[in-house]
Amino acid sequence: MDERTGEDIYGEKHKDANEPIFSGIPSFLKLPTAVEEEELAESDADIAILGAPLDTATTIRPGTRYGPRAVRAASTVPSPPYEHFNIETGVDPFDTFSVVDHGDATITPGDTKTSQENIEDAVASIVETDTMPLVIGGDHSISYPDIKGWAEANGYDDIGLIHFDCHADTGEDGLTGFKYDHGAWVKRVHDLGIMDGDNYTLIGPRGFWPGPDTYEEMREAGMKWYTADDVAEYDLSAIAQDAVDRATDGTDAVWISFDVDVMDPAYCPGTGEPEPGGLMPREAFTMIREVTKQMDPDHVGFDVVEVAPQYDTSDTNSYNGGITSGFANRLCIEVMGGLALAERGLESGSPIKPKEPLRTAPPAPADDD
């Protein structure tokens, strides 16, 4: 795999920027599609993008059923397909991985449980073709079927979970008592008996929900969390490293779940339950890069959830996606970039730097004598 290049994987389209971004079928990053299970098996892909447009397990503002479409639309805006050499990290995931858009899981509006089972089946079928699932939600309830389908199809007994979110989602049920609510999926995963509290880390909680009783239970279960204030105060790499160490301690695999409401609403307004005082994009990218480059690409899964484009801003009506769906798109690329480093056994990429060294501190005061 080390010898493989983007052109080997995608042919001439790897660098082809000639097609106008607003034309053609807007698959994720205009990547090849492999929607049917047989197509996916034949594609020999490493990573499959799956949309999970479910929002009937939402308690406050609905709308994430439009999330996958908005993220796909946002993904067609920047950069040529599929070359994505990251100027800062010096890595291009599409030099390493064959990635396809596998379409969406089948959703039955009004039948939340059936929809969730369909998501579970879709994720399991991705795993059965030896492909990593990268799921775009949808409300956060999808993470339970995501993880259940992924863990069972892989035969994992013990998993770690790294969870970026404003909300803990660890309580027995959601705000209004629904067991499969978007605010109870961590507890559902915990109840499967495949994830110990010691292998769970939450990054970014703040605000007022859930209440102190739930946090007491989390504490008792050995769960750990870094609040949004902690993220601002502590070293980002140390936080990420702690989450990785905990998630990989004695486990078979790690799932990473990213709720965009962990971000400050200034950066991600397009979500159902925004809460002031959240993360900045650079903080999220630093931590997600640090986490993903230490994962085993054969034993990891990822989802990004809670993008609700109708509350988003910037270009939302021209079908190019807003700033929240643009952030989610970027996050998916960063995840694949980190995994590409892991796949190649690299600690870091090879960014191009200026000839003259960067000035990293103020110049020494001039000598007046």
Residues that bind Mn ion (CB under 5 A): 165-167, 259, 261
What is the closest distance, in whole angstroms, from the C-beta atom of residue 182 to Mn ion in the complex?
Answer: 8
What is the closest distance, in whole angstroms, from the C-beta atom of residue 259 to Mn ion in the complex?
Answer: 4
What is the closest distance, in whole angstroms, from the C-beta atom of residue 181 to Mn ion in the complex?
Answer: 12
Interatomic CA distance for residues 213 and 216, integer angstroms: 5
Closest by CA to 163, choosing from 281, 66, 260, 38, is: 260
- Which of residues 261 and 312 has its CB atom nearest to Mn ion in the complex? 261
**CA-based max dimension of the chain:** 81
- Which of residues 259 and 283 has its CB atom nearest to Mn ion in the complex? 259
Q: In 67-111, which ranges are continuous DSSP H helix?
A: 67-75
- Cis peptide bond prior to 149, omega within 30° of 0: no
What is the closest distance, in whole angstroms, from the C-beta atom of residue 286 to Mn ion in the complex?
Answer: 20
- Which of residues 261 and 303 has its CB atom nearest to Mn ion in the complex? 261
What is the closest distance, in whole angstroms, from the C-beta atom of residue 208 to Mn ion in the complex?
Answer: 13
- Which of residues 263 and 336 has its CB atom nearest to Mn ion in the complex? 263
Is 136 exposed, middle or buried, given 0-12, 13-18 or 19+ CB atoms closer than 10 A? buried
Half-sphere exposure of 28 (CA within 13 A, CB side): 27
Is 244 exposed, middle or buried, given 0-12, 13-18 or 19+ CB atoms closer than 10 A? buried
- Which of residues 92 and 275 has its CB atom nearest to Mn ion in the complex? 275
- Which of residues 209 and 319 has its CB atom nearest to Mn ion in the complex? 209
| Position of minimal CB gap to Mn ion | 167
- Which of residues 167 and 293 has its CB atom nearest to Mn ion in the complex? 167
Spell out a b/e string for 63-74, using b for 16 or more CB atoms within 10 Å of the CB, else e: bbbbbbbbbbbb
Interatomic CA distance for residues 142 and 304, integer angstroms: 10
Q: Are 139 and 306 in contact, with CB atoms under 8 Å apart?
A: yes
What is the closest distance, in whole angstroms, from the C-beta atom of residue 171 to Mn ion in the complex?
Answer: 12
- Which of residues 97 and 180 has its CB atom nearest to Mn ion in the complex? 180
What is the closest distance, in whole angstroms, from the C-beta atom of residue 112 to Mn ion in the complex?
Answer: 17
Residue 5, amino acid: T
CA 274 to chain centre: 18
Helix, strand, or coil (residue 38): helix
What is the closest distance, in whole angstroms, from the C-beta atom of residue 280 to Mn ion in the complex?
Answer: 17
Interatomic CA distance for residues 325 and 271, integer angstroms: 10
